[in-house]
């Protein structure tokens, strides 16, 4: 199918620069130097073993669909581990100094759903 034949929704779901950069950043758990990771107090207060499982689940997350990723940017997800509270993660975009919105740096926030 030619690109001009694709529906708007199909074109939105095509990998773009933000999606690729978000995936690289998230899968490296911030080791690319292109951003920071913040754990809220609720996530930080989880036992070490559970917190490690949460970080690995965020890193390995691939359950993107139209409902949780309508723009195809791979910037939000929900983690549900057995017998643990629901976890959200979100990537936001900042300038070089993390002061204003931009697209230079990424901030990955991992939080308990009830902290939202």
Q: Are 12 and 44 in contact (CB under 8 A)?
A: no
The answer to whether residue 11 scores a pLDDT higher than 70 is: no
The answer to whether residue 2 scores a pLDDT higher than 60 is: no
Every domain of the chain and the residues it spans? 3-115
9 versus 91: the higher-pLDDT residue is 91
What's the rounded Cα separation, in Å, for the pair 81 and 59? Answer: 14
Nearest CA among 47, 65, 69, 55 for reference residue 26: 55
pTM of the model: 0.84
What's the rounded Cα separation, in Å, for the pair 90 and 6? Answer: 29
The answer to whether residue 87 scores a pLDDT higher than 70 is: yes
| Mean pLDDT on 51-72 | 95
| Mean pLDDT on 69-95 | 95
């Amino acid at each position: 199918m030619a690109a001009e034949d694709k529906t708007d929704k199909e074109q939105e779901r095509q990998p773009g620069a933000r999606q690729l950069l978000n995936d690289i950043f998230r899968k490296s758990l911030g080791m690319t130097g292109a951003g920071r990771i913040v754990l809220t107090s609720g996530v930080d207060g989880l036992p070490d073993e559970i917190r490690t499982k949460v970080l690995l689940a965020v890193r390995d997350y691939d359950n993107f669909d139209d409902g949780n990723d309508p723009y195809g940017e791979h910037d939000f997800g929900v983690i549900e581990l057995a017998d643990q509270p629901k976890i959200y993660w979100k990537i936001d975009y900042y300038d070089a100094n993390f002061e204003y919105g931009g697209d230079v740096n990424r901030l990955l926030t991992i939080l308990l759903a009830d902290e939202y």
